[in-house]
Structure 1
Amino acid sequence: MTPSQHTIAGTVLTMPVQIRKAQQHMAMFSVDADAAQRMIDYSGLRVCRVTPGRAIVVLMLMHYLDGDLGQYYEFGTSVMVNPPGAPPGSKTSGLQALREAGAFIHHLPVDQEFTLEAGTKIWGYPKVLGDFTIRGGRQFGFDLSIDGQFVVGMEFKSGLPFRIAPRTQAQRSYSHRDGITRETGFEHTLDGVRTRLGGVRIRLGDHPYSKELAALGLPKRAILSSSAANVKMTFGDAQEIS
């Protein structure tokens, strides 16, 4: 079967899209499930209720260093959701459900035009242009602004080495754009992982994205935070599910 191709800004991308090296900082939070559901109701998907009344939201900064979409920063707000059409019962709640859940991408600002066009056209991701200020040194941090308005800042404490051999994991992400919900399968391999309980501080602005995060109960203590020094990924085509 001939691989599909997409032309973005005059460049032909052959699927799957390859990310050969990226760096990641992420934080996972337990939030009010009803608030998370209201935020993503437009998608038609249902949040994964890990415990009664609680859902999982992940905030993640990616720095793509070598890949088919070029170099760029990206900040994502993901809500863990049940697979579309999942029957009611034990598989829609609890830790087993979380293992089977996918990530619905609600926010996805980036700082480069090429990846914005590719992300919206190929996968229907909610990419918008933003500006990132990165702080390195002993404590990693960043600020995100959109149209000159501060959205969110995060500071990460260093975690402890996670000494497990890297392995490739298959996952699913979901997006909703132009009235269509899409599922995208992808694989990733993480190396150089460090993790810790809590370990992150969040600051929110007055941007509409900030107010959505505040409506979830943020800022609050993270369940855990982590970083990965070397991330490899492949993304397939999106499939329409509704």
Structure 2
Amino acid sequence: MSKIRVEKYISDILEYSRSDIKKLISKKRLKVNEKIVEKGYKIDPYLDKVYIDNKEIKYEKFRYYMFNKPSGFVCANKDDNEAVVFDILNLNKDKYFTFGRLDKDTEGLLIISNDGQMSHKLLSPKNHVPKKYFVKTDKPFPNELINFKDSFIFSDGTKIDKYKFEFIDNKSCYLTIYEGKFHQIKKMMGVFNLGVIYLKRVMFGKLSLDPNLKLGEIRQLSEEEIKLMQEQN
């Protein structure tokens, strides 16, 4: 790999601003191979070791994050009329994107990355990657739904053949879907005249939402979690 400026290396990995990196350099907190470096110093990301405050910063081509999305934000990099998830994330919205979307009023597991190829594979309709949601409805589930085994057919003719219900009580359940149709779960419930009052995604493929990750918090995926995600391909 050709050499790059150490400033770019840091900004790509840690999302530091130019002024932040300038301060690191001026305060001699930035080292390459144990040597304090100046502005514009060039490195080989695969050979050189970069340190901030004596802690090594390792190069990663792709980064993957788990975000516990709160309600009230749309899954977009930019929207002139709505608050977007990147408004509350310390990530560069020009480099990162969400793997699919959750509705504005839906909470839960959202994967954010800069890996376009992985996103395409996981979201491709032919792969049928399962997505599991916790659902609460405004009225009790009728017996017709509890015993329902047929296809859901929406008013526009859309047909949903594959799904899995796990009923918890008379107004809450887990629902796993294998497609990503617009407002799919709300429409499925609507077939039985039920309104969805709370919706949260708890699984994406084999990856489960971390129970310790609070609403609005984000963290990087572990190596084990990345492998789980890759197993869906």
Q: What is the TM-score when the length of structure 1 is the normalising length?
A: 0.22
Say which one has the larger Rg. 2
Q: What is the TM-score when the length of structure 2 is the normalising length?
A: 0.22
Q: Which has the higher contact order (CA 8 A, sep 6+)?
A: 1
Q: Which structure features the higher share of strand residues?
A: 1
